[in-house]
Structure 1
């Protein structure tokens, strides 16, 4: 199993940082410290802490910044990085981005979005949830109050995920998908096909829409509740401020 980070996104709401950097390389350390840790640093450190030292990173927008830091990141975190190019990162959404990694996920992958600040306990929760025949396991926050923007999930105790989308009444959801997934090798082919179907239908769809495509086909997608954990998806400057508060606690 490898680590996998989706780091191709532009993150335009985080300008001026993202004028020159992909969102995954925006500093989440003390404000003004441009050399502080990034979301990508957090993901790589977490992977290394659970023994995943082979990591693929999907890059696109401002990918040269990741290529420039590749050697330093490998040395800092004790990992080996494979960079996967997304040639449509500024045109299409992340269903295509995850599909670009279809060959590496054949090894099995622990996927982390490149904009999610979270503790290593989430990776541990996903790895500990293995062993019951699950092929895909989503990290689910069942504690945080839900709003319109969140990636909401409806689950069934026996059948797993029934619905995953931002477009639902928060009151009907069981929790929020936080942007981390464990993908077993056996799921790779079916997932790649579902992602392809998804972005061919609409290039602006999310990879979570690919998960929904799998569910619609009768594929069981499981969840693992992460407990009362502090985390944040960084989309804008308010999120970045929260990310800095959280990141310094790890």
Structure 2
């Protein structure tokens, strides 16, 4: 299994930090970025081959590859998204489709979370589970969250931001375990998704799989401090998590 990080987006709501940096390289603490934290998580659970999908300000990631490899004991591969500044991340994940057959631990490049999330997903492997989403079932949900409805009998039924929070099982936190057996179907679903609308999320690709009869499972992460960094308030919260006072 390899690690995969989506770090191609421009992160416009974090300007001026993202004038010349992708969101994944915005400083969270001295010499620490989201990408640092994610690579450290992978190394902690024994995932040392990692691919990073880059696009906006890709050169900034390229310049740090050697340092990341030395610091975390990982081997890095960069995957280039040529439409990162205009298309959404369904296309970004599809750009890494050739890697899915190795089995992937996927993490969004803007999510600060502990390695316990990766461990939870690895512990949830087995049986016929092919795609497992890290799910926060503790947090109070609002409009912006990626919400999930899940049942033990059917797995994930709905994944979307456009849902009444009261009906949701929890929030998908942007980390997924993808088994090799899911590679072809997921790549096809992602292509169908971005061809329908290039501004859709890869979670819309998950929904397409569900609508076609595939099962997607979840793994609740328990009470965990984490945050998806979309704006300056989120960045402040990430800094509180990483460097508590």
Q: Deviations over 1:85-133 (max 9, x none)?
A: 0000001000000000000111000000000000000000000000122
Root mean square deviation of aligned Cα = 0.7
Separation in 1, partners of 2:240, 2:103: 32
Q: Alpha-carbon deviation of 1:156?
A: 1.1
Equivalent residue number for residue 94 of structure 1: 89
Q: Deviations over 1:43-93 (max 9, x none)?
A: 000000000000000000000000011111111110000000000000100
Separation in 1, partners of 2:98, 2:152: 31
Does residue 124 of structure 2 align to residue 129 of structure 1?
yes
SS at match of 1:98: helix
Equivalent residue number for residue 69 of structure 1: 64
Q: Deviations over 1:124-173 (max 9, x none)?
A: 00000001220000000000000000000000111100000000110110
Q: Alpha-carbon deviation of 1:218?
A: 0.3
TM-score (norm 1): 0.97
Extract unaligned runs of 5+ from structure 1.
none
Q: Alpha-carbon deviation of 1:194?
A: 0.2
Separation in 2, partners of 1:238, 1:67: 28
Equivalent residue number for residue 10 of structure 2: 10
Separation in 2, partners of 1:76, 1:106: 27
Match of 1:78 among 73, 77, 81: 73
Match of 2:236 among 220, 231, 241: 241
Residue-pair matches, total: 244
Question: Within 5 A, what are the aligned runs for 1:184-199?
Answer: 184-199=179-194
Equivalent residue number for residue 43 of structure 1: 38
SS at match of 1:19: coil
Separation in 1, partners of 2:161, 2:88: 15
Q: Deviations over 1:152-200 (max 9, x none)?
A: 0000111100000000110110100000000000001100000000000
Does residue 25 of structure 2 align to residue 25 of structure 1?
yes
Q: Alpha-carbon deviation of 1:248?
A: 2.6
Separation in 2, partners of 1:62, 1:122: 28
Separation in 2, partners of 1:204, 1:194: 15
TM-score (norm 2): 0.99
